[in-house]
Chains A and B, each alone.
Chain A
Amino acid sequence: MLFRFKADVARREGRRSATSLAIIILVLASLVACAPSHQNRIVIGSKNFTEQLILGEILAQHIESKTHIPVDRRFYLAGTFICQQGMLAGRIDMYPEYTGTALTAILKELPGNDPRQVYDRVKNEYAARFHFEVGPPLGFDDTFAIEIRGDDARRLHLQTISQAAAFSPKWRPGFGYEFMERPDGYKGLVSTYHLQFAEPPRIMDLGLLTRALKDKQVDLIAGNTTDGLIPAFDLAVLQDDQHYFPPYEAVPVVRDETLRLHPEVREALQDLAGKISDAEMRDLNYAVDGQHRDAKEVVANFLRSKGF
Chain B
Amino acid sequence: MSTNSKSAIEFRKVSYRPEGSAEILHDLDLRVHAGETLTLLGRSGSGKTTSLKLINNLVSPSSGDVIVEDHPTRTWDIIRLRRRIGYVIQDIGLFPHFTVERNITLIPRLEGWPVGRVQARLKELLSLVGLDPQLAPRYPRELSGGQRQRVGVARALAADPPILLMDEPFGALDPITRSDLQAEFAALQKRLRKTVVFVTHDVREALLLSDRIALMESGRLMALCTPKEFLHSSDPLVATYVRSAGADLDGCDRGEA
Q: Which residues of B contact A34 (CB under 8 A)?
A: none
Q: Pick from A3, A5, A9, A13: contact of B114, CB below 8 A.
A: A5
Query: Does A27 sit within 8 A of B, measured CB to CB?
Result: no
* Contact between chains at B112 and A5 (CB < 8 Å): yes
List which A1-26 residues lie within 8 A (CB) of chain B.
1-3, 5-6, 8-9, 13
In the assembled complex, how far is the CB of residue B104 from the closest CB belonging to chain A, in whole angstroms? 13
Q: Which residues of B contact A8 (CB under 8 A)?
A: 109
How does the 8 Å CB contact mask read for B218-250 relative to A, with 1 for contact and 0 for none? 000000000000000000000000000000000
Q: Pick from A1, A3, A5: contact of B109, CB below 8 A.
A: A5
Query: Does B110 sit within 8 A of A, measured CB to CB?
Result: yes
Q: Which residues of B contact A13 (CB under 8 A)?
A: 97-98, 102
Q: Which residues of B contact A9 (CB under 8 A)?
A: 109-110
Q: Which residues of A contact B113 (CB under 8 A)?
A: 5
Per the bound structure, the CA–CA distance linking A2 and B97 in Å amounts to 24
Q: Which residues of B contact A2 (CB under 8 A)?
A: 112
* Contact between chains at A5 and B98 (CB < 8 Å): no
Q: Which residues of A contact B114 (CB under 8 A)?
A: 1, 5
Query: Does B115 sit within 8 A of A, measured CB to CB?
Result: yes
In the assembled complex, how far is the CB of residue A191 from the closest CB belonging to chain B, in whole angstroms? 72
Chain A residue, CB-CB nearest to B114: A1
Main secondary structure of the interface of A (DSSP, over half): helix
How does the 8 Å CB contact mask read for B92-114 relative to A, with 1 for contact and 0 for none? 00000110001000000110111
Chain B residue, CB-CB nearest to A6: B112
List which B99-134 residues lie within 8 A (CB) of chain A.
102, 109-110, 112-115
* Contact between chains at B98 and A6 (CB < 8 Å): no
Q: How many residues of B contact A (CB 8 A)?
A: 9
How does the 8 Å CB contact mask read for A86-106 relative to B, with 1 for contact and 0 for none? 000000000000000000000
Q: Which residues of A contact B110 (CB under 8 A)?
A: 6, 9
In the assembled complex, how far is the CB of residue A65 from the closest CB belonging to chain B, in whole angstroms? 66
Chain A residue, CB-CB nearest to B105: A9
In the assembled complex, how far is the CB of residue B199 from the closest CB belonging to chain A, in whole angstroms? 30
In the assembled complex, how far is the CB of residue B183 from the closest CB belonging to chain A, in whole angstroms? 34
Per the bound structure, the CA–CA distance linking A5 and B115 in Å amounts to 8
* Contact between chains at A3 and B112 (CB < 8 Å): yes
Chain B residue, CB-CB nearest to A3: B112
Per the bound structure, the CA–CA distance linking A2 and B112 in Å amounts to 5
How does the 8 Å CB contact mask read for A159-173 relative to B, with 1 for contact and 0 for none? 000000000000000
Q: Which residues of B contact A5 (CB under 8 A)?
A: 109, 112-115
Per the bound structure, the CA–CA distance linking A174 and B112 in Å amounts to 86
Per the bound structure, the CA–CA distance linking A8 and B115 in Å amounts to 11
In the assembled complex, how far is the CB of residue A22 from the closest CB belonging to chain B, in whole angstroms? 18
Per the bound structure, the CA–CA distance linking A13 and B110 in Å amounts to 12
Per the bound structure, the CA–CA distance linking A6 and B102 in Å amounts to 13
List which B113-170 residues lie within 8 A (CB) of chain A.
113-115
Interface-centre pick from A1, A2, A5 (highest chain B CB count, 10 A) = A5
Chain A residue, CB-CB nearest to B118: A5
List which A63-102 residues lie within 8 A (CB) of chain B.
none
Chain B residue, CB-CB nearest to A17: B97
In the assembled complex, how far is the CB of residue B21 from the closest CB belonging to chain A, in whole angstroms? 36
How does the 8 Å CB contact mask read for A256-268 relative to B, with 1 for contact and 0 for none? 0000000000000
In the assembled complex, how far is the CB of residue B113 from the closest CB belonging to chain A, in whole angstroms? 7
Per the bound structure, the CA–CA distance linking A5 and B119 in Å amounts to 13
Chain A residue, CB-CB nearest to B113: A5
Chain A residue, CB-CB nearest to B106: A9
List which B65-107 residues lie within 8 A (CB) of chain A.
97-98, 102
Chain A residue, CB-CB nearest to B109: A9
Q: Which residues of A contact B102 (CB under 8 A)?
A: 13
In the assembled complex, how far is the CB of residue A240 from the closest CB belonging to chain B, in whole angstroms? 78
In the assembled complex, how far is the CB of residue B120 from the closest CB belonging to chain A, in whole angstroms? 15
Per the bound structure, the CA–CA distance linking A51 and B109 in Å amounts to 75
Per the bound structure, the CA–CA distance linking A3 and B110 in Å amounts to 10
Chain B residue, CB-CB nearest to A4: B112
Q: Which residues of B contact A3 (CB under 8 A)?
A: 112
Per the bound structure, the CA–CA distance linking A277 and B81 in Å amounts to 91
In the assembled complex, how far is the CB of residue A135 from the closest CB belonging to chain B, in whole angstroms? 65
Interface-centre pick from B98, B109, B110, B114 (highest chain A CB count, 10 A) = B109
Per the bound structure, the CA–CA distance linking A8 and B109 in Å amounts to 9
In the assembled complex, how far is the CB of residue A97 from the closest CB belonging to chain B, in whole angstroms? 60
Chain B residue, CB-CB nearest to A9: B109
Could you list 16 examples of A-B contacts with CB < 8 Å? A1-B112, A1-B114, A2-B112, A3-B112, A5-B109, A5-B113, A5-B114, A6-B109, A6-B110, A6-B112, A8-B109, A9-B109, A9-B110, A13-B97, A13-B98, A13-B102
A residues lining the B interface (CB < 8 Å): 1-3, 5-6, 8-9, 13
Closest 9 CB pairs of A and B: A2-B112, A9-B109, A6-B112, A5-B112, A5-B109, A1-B114, A9-B110, A5-B115, A6-B110
What would 4 more interface pairs be, CB under 8 Å, given A2-B112, A13-B98? Answer: A1-B114, A5-B112, A5-B115, A13-B102
